[in-house]
Structure 1
Amino acid sequence: MEDSVPGSWSKRNALLAIAIGGMIAGALDLTQACILFGWDIPLSIAAGLIGPKALHGGAGTYVLGVSLHFVIALSAATIYYAASRKLGFLIEHPLVCGLFYGAAIETVMNLIVLPLSALHARGPYELHDLLQGLLVHMVVAGLPIAFSIRRLANNPMRAIKP
Structure 2
Amino acid sequence: MTRTIPTLMTILWIGLIAGTLDIADNLIFNQFRGISPIRVFQYIASGLIGMKSFQLGLASVALGVLIHYTIALFWTGVFYTASRKFSILVRRPIICGLLYGVVVYLVMNFVILPLSQVPPRPAAVTLPSRINAVLALLLFIGLTISLLTRRSITRASN
TM-score band, normalised by shorter chain: 0.7 to 0.9
1:22 to 7, 15, 24: 15
TM-score, L = length of structure 1:
0.82
**Counterpart residue number, 1:134:** 134
- Distance in 1, Cα, partners of 2:110 & 2:71: 15
Q: How does 1:3-152 map to 2 (within 5 A)?
A: 8=2, 10-37=3-30, 38-40=36-38, 41-119=40-118, 121=120, 126-152=126-152
RMSD across aligned positions (CA): 2.3
User: Which amino acid letter does the alignment assign opposite residue 42 of structure 2?
Assistant: L
Residues 28 and 140, structure 1, Cα contact 8 Å, conserved in 2: yes
- Distance in 2, Cα, partners of 1:150 & 1:13: 15
User: What SS class does the counterpart of residue 119 from structure 1 fall into?
Assistant: coil
Aligned length: 150
Q: Which runs of 5+ in 2 are unaligned?
A: 31-35
Percent identity at matched positions?
A: 34
User: Which amino acid letter does the alignment assign opposite residue 146 of structure 2?
Assistant: A
Shift of 1:13: 3.0
TM-score, L = length of structure 2:
0.84
User: What SS class does the counterpart of residue 118 from structure 2 fall into?
Assistant: coil
Shift of 1:129: 3.4
- Distance in 1, Cα, partners of 2:119 & 2:42: 15
- Distance in 2, Cα, partners of 1:153 & 1:121: 40
- Distance in 2, Cα, partners of 1:110 & 1:121: 12
How far does the alpha carbon of each residue in 1:28-57 deviate from its partner, in whole angstroms, 9 at most, with x for none? 111111111231211001000000110232
Residue 33 to residue 114, structure 1, CA distance change in 2 (3 Å): same
- Distance in 2, Cα, partners of 1:88 & 1:75: 20
**Counterpart residue number, 2:33:** none
- Distance in 1, Cα, partners of 2:154 & 2:119: 39
Residue 155 to residue 123, structure 1, CA distance change in 2 (3 Å): farther
How far does the alpha carbon of each residue in 1:38-78 deviate from its partner, in whole angstroms, 9 at most, with x for none? 31211001000000110232111110100000000000000
**Considering only CA atoms, is the larger Rg found in Structure 1 or Structure 2?**
1
Higher-RCO chain (CA-CA 8 Å, sequence separation at least 6):
1
Q: Which runs of 5+ in 1 are unaligned?
A: 1-6
Residues 98 and 147, structure 1, Cα contact 8 Å, conserved in 2: yes
- Distance in 2, Cα, partners of 1:139 & 1:42: 21
